Each structure stands twice: as structure tokens, then as C-alpha cells.
Amino acid sequence: MKMAASASDYRDLARRRLPRFLFEYVDGGSYDEVTMHRNRADLQRVALRQRVLRDVSDVDLGVEIFGRRQAMPVALGPIGLAGLLARRGERQAVAVAEDVGIPFCLSTVSACSLGEVAEAARAPFWFQLYMMRDRGFVQALLAEARDRGCSALVFTVDMPLPGSRYRDYRSGLAGVPGLRGAARRFGQALLRPDWAVDVGLMGRPHSLGNVAPLLDRKSGLDDFMGWMRSNFDPGITWRDLDHIRSVWSGPLVIKGILDVEDARAAAALGADGIVVSNHGGRQLDGVPSAAEALPAIAEAVGGKLRIFADGGVRSGLDVARMLCLGADCVLLGRAWAYALGAGGGPAVRHMLSLFEAELRVALSLTGVTRVIELDRGALAA
């Protein structure tokens, strides 16, 4: 496997290895992808304050999140269908995250089930939950996550309906159900023989492991977006989150917060954390970037709960920028998905080593020796 110098390099390698429908699913955003590109552009415009002669011979990247020490302030965020990017991809990713010393969060719509990932894990991992119409099934998922030892619940609230992702329709992942859609994706897979053997043949079953009980012959991968529209619950309210808080005793993180008032509501609910996120630009196009929304939210609720952020992060330098804007920890999304698609677990491990080195440089050149001390004081005026 060819190693990369950056997460952007892994994007190019993933594009060459993955069938088109999978690459476009990972790479694309909603509508005209304005917000998706804004995530990157706004973060890149954040200027750090370079300091010199500060004795940075001993730099500490460690943080403590929910009572657990982790090697650096990042986590592998939830990625739907990640298990199709490499053979049983979520199993590979959780093992890498454990070895590196950071959290891994399993998506509701993963290919590998909670049980399968738990078998591959040696330590507790996080679970991400969507609210579905079948509340009894949601309760069962929560119970399984608890029984499997998941240490935190990440509850995604910005997806009552999936955004209009044009690339998924153009690639054949969505909107082309039945044999015609399957044949289209099969043809794309044949053009990627490495993936076809590693995942297509050796990585079965190809299903949504956690929600298999809800699937029937007309749903699932045959029309992924259509299935989500049919099963996700647009009637979700803050009352539902209050109920989740009452039945989930572990740390609860609310993902998909962009508005200060929503952040305050999450804090009032008793959430242990929030993720400042626009779903990677995959939901409502035209909303603020995570980097734009983060400072005001951090000012409003900082210290009341843990603040996570995602959106546009492609390097350890970007992690430093998010921390300066007010995040306590950063969820990686596309960065680790690109690496997984390019070369499986070894590539994810290498990508994380790049992030670690880049973050260490960012701290050293801003004159900060402990990552928990990064704040707005490290930003250029």
C-alpha cells in the first residue's frame, strides 16, 4: 500500500481504490456543497499566533474525556457504511483507535454490528444513535450498546431527514433501487478489482448490521437514502432527548449543534457534551461552518459540558485550530474514512500518526506545551 503525506493524499488514494458509489458517498455533501466547502475554507482561514524561544522540549498532547485519558484530543467519529470501505472496516478501525489511545465511535448505520465490533475491541467504544420511528427498536439498540459496554452515547439530532445529496443519486447509491441499481454498482465495483476482492468477495455480509431487524427485501443498500427517509423519525423533539437521558446512564453527547440556543438547551437537558457540527455539510446546505459557529457556542456553554467539533478537519493543524476556537476534542470524519478506503487499518494508523506529528508542531510553534492550554490566546489578532 502506498503511504500518504496527508489526509488529502489519502483522499486521492481512496478515489482510485473505491467504487464510485462509495467514494462519492464519503466525499460528497448536500445540494451544491457550499457548506461542505465552507467547512474547509473557514477553518483554513483561522490564523495561529506564532511564538518563539518558549522551551517546547516537552509537549503533552494528552487529554481526559469522560474520565478516560486519551493520547490526543481526537476521536474517530461515526461514519455510515465504513465497513464497506475496507474489509469489515469498523473492526479494523476500532482496533487502531485502541492501539493509538483515542476513542472510536460506531455509527448506527455501520456495516459491522455492535456485537461484531465488541468482539474486536478490547476496551469500551462509543456508539452513535439516530432516532428511528420504531421507538421499541431504539430502546433495544440502547440496551445492546449498554450491554456491550459502550462508554458514551453520541445522539445525532441534525438528521430528521437525510439531506439531498446529488452525488449519491448520480452514482447510483440512492434513487435506483432493485436490479438496475445493483447492476450499476456491480459494474463500478468491477472497475476496482482490489476493492472487489478485498471487500466485495471477502468482506461479506454487505448489510447494515445494527438495523438488520428493520430491513426487508426492498430496503437497505438497494436504496440507502430511501431507507433512511422511511425509518428516521422527523418528529423528534427535545422531549425525546430527555427520555434518552433518563434511560442512558453513561455520558450523553448531542451531535449536530450549530445554534447557541440549542447548545444551551442541551446543557439544560443534562447532556455531558455536544458536537458542534453541520454533518460534514451533508444536511442543510448554506448553514454556517463548524469553525464559524464554534466560538459563540463555546462562550455560551464552555465549562458546562464537553465541546466536540467536526467539519473540514484534515490535519493536526486543523485540530489545533478547532481547539483554539473552543473545542475540547475533535471528531475526525472524512479524514479517517479516506484512509480506511485507501488502505484499511494500517492507513488509518498512519493517518493518525501524521495528525499527531502535525499537532505537536502546531503546539511547539505557538509556544504551548500542553494541548489543554490551547485557547483563543493562541490565535493571531
User: Which residue type sits at 4?
Assistant: A
Which residues have CB under 8 Å from 135's CB, separation 6+? none
φ/ψ (deg, to 5) at 372 = -70, -10
Residue 257 contacts residue 331 (beta carbons within 8 Å): no
Query: What is the three-state SS of the chain?
Result: CCCCCCHHHHHHHHHHHCCHHHHHHHHCCCCCCHHHHHHHHHHHCCCECCCCCCCCCCCECCEEECCEEECCCEEECCCCCHHHCCCCHHHHHHHHHHHHCCCEEECCCCCCCHHHHHHHCCCCCEEEECCECCHHHHHHHHHHHHHCCCCEEEEECCCCCCCCCHHHHHHCCCCCCHHHHHHHHHHHHHCCHHHHHHHHHCCCCCCCHHHHHHCCCCCHHHHHHHHHHHHECCCCCHHHHHHHHHHCCCCEEEEEECCHHHHHHHHHHCCCEEEECCHHHCCCCCCCCHHHHHHHHHHHHECCEEEEECCCCCCHHHHHHHHHHCCCEEEECHHHHHHHHHHHHHHHHHHHHHHHHHHHHHHHHHCCCEHHHCCHHHECC
Contact 108, 75 (CB under 8 A): no
How far apart are the C-alpha atoms of 164 and 167, rounded to whole Å?
9
Quote the distance between the C-alpha of residue 303 and its chain's center: 23
Could you tell me if 289 and 321 are in contact, meaning their C-beta atoms sit under 8 angstroms apart? no
Residue recorded with cell 433501487:
177
Catalytic residue among 37, 206, 243, 279: 279
- 243 given a catalytic annotation: no
Residues with a catalytic annotation lie at 279
